Structure 1
Amino acid sequence: MNEHGARILIVDDEPQIRKLLKVSLQAHQYAITEAASGEEGLLQASTAPPDLIVLDLGLPDLSGMEVLARLREWSGVPIIVLTAKDREEDKIAALDGGADDYVTKPFGMGELVARIRVALRHVAKSPNEPILQFDELTIDLAQRIVELRGERVKLTPTEYDLLKLLASHAGKVVTQRQLLQQVWGAQTTESDSHYLRVYIGHLRKKLEEDSTQPKFIVTEPGIGYRFLSRD
C-alpha cells in the first residue's frame, strides 16, 4: 500500500479534535473521513472501508472498546486508539482487544503521524515475508536463523519465539499477556510476567550493544514491549 493517499477514518465525538486531526493529516496527504459516534464509525467502516482508523475510546453512544470489538469481528484494518492520559488499563485493554497502537490525550501530531506510518507500513508488508531485516539484525523465519552484523546468534527455542513475535509486530506494543499466552501458552497469566522479564533480559544481552539502553526491544512500562521498527 502506498502510504500517501491512504484513507483514514477518524471516530471521535469532539469536533475540535476531529478538525485538528483532519487538517493535520490532510497536510500529510492522507484522505480523511469523519464519524462523531461509534455507530456512525461502524457504518462508515463497513460501507467505505478505510486503510486505517483513529478511534477515540470515549464515545457518546457505544464505548470505544465495543466499537473495537465489533470492528475486529470482520475487519483487520489497522486501528490506533486515542486514550485518556495515564489510563494504563485502557491501553492494555485496547491492545488486547485488537488495537494496533495507542496515543494518549493530549497527544502530539508528530507522534500520531509516526504511529500511523508504522501501522500502514506494517499492514502493507506481506505476512509471508520469510526474512525480517532491522539494521544489522536479520531474522530468517523460514530457517529460524538470527544473525547480528553477519554473525549467527544462538538463541534457545523460547528466546527465538519471543523475538519472532516481537519483530513480526515491529513498531507495535505487544502486551505482557499477549506475549505470555503466545509464547508460553494459554494457561499463563500476568502473574507469570517474571518469565518474560528474564527472557527479555537474555535477548537484550545477546542483541543489544548496551542492554541498559536497548535499541531493538524497548519496555512500555506496565504494559508490555515494543520492537522498534527501523524501516
Structure 2
Amino acid sequence: MCNIGMLALRNTSKKRSEIEEIKQKHNVLEVTENLELLETLHAVVIVEEDIRDLSRICELISKIKNSSICYIWIMTDAEHSVGKLVYLQLGADEVFDLSREAKEVVFIMENSLLRVGQNGVEESITSENHAIELLKLIPTNASVIIEGTKEVVLTKLEYQMLELLLRYQGMAVSYEMIYQEMWKIDTGENKQYRIANVIYHLRRKIEKDIKKPTFIKTVRSKGYMLKM
C-alpha cells in the first residue's frame, strides 16, 4: 500500500471516480501547498481546476522535485489543459484530463506504484525483518517484545504510536500525519504536546536510555522516526 497526497488548490474540487477507486487500494491523504507530508508520500496528485492555477502548480512541481523523488501527477478538469506541456517540461510524470478514461488513469497510476514496490522490495523485506527482530508487536496482549526477549505491555495510545512508526520505519513521520492517524478529529489542542507526551511514555518503556533513544528519533521541527 502506497501513500498518495491529494492537493486541491481550490475548495470546489469535485470527486473523481479514478481517485475513489485508488482509495480502495492506497492511502490517499489531503495535503496543502506547504507539502507537510511530502517525506511520507509515494505520489502527489495536484488538481488543476482553473487556468489561473498554472503558476502555482508550476511552483509546486519545482518544490516537489527539489525535495522528493515521488511521482507527480496533474489532474485537470479541462478537456485539454493549456499548461500540459509546461507541467511535463517542469518534471510532472503525467497529466490526466477529462478526455482520459477513468480506468486508463487508474491503470497508469497502479503500474507506476507497482514499480515503487518492486524496486524496493528486497530492501523493504530485509529492513522489515530486522525491525521485527528488535521490536515485535503482540496485538493480542497490546504489548511489544524488545530484542526477542523482554515483553512490555503498552497502553492503547502507546501501541498505536509504535505501530504507526513501525509501519513507516526509517521515514520521518510528521506531527500532522501522526495526529491524523491517531486522533482523526482536530480539537484545536496543542498537537505537538499531545504527541510528545505519548512518545515520552513510550520511550520510557522501550528505550534503555530515554535521554539517548536508540529506537525513536526526534526529527527536528517535523516529527519522529523509528530507526533500526
TM-score (norm 2): 0.46
Compare CA radii of gyration and give the structure with the larger one: 2
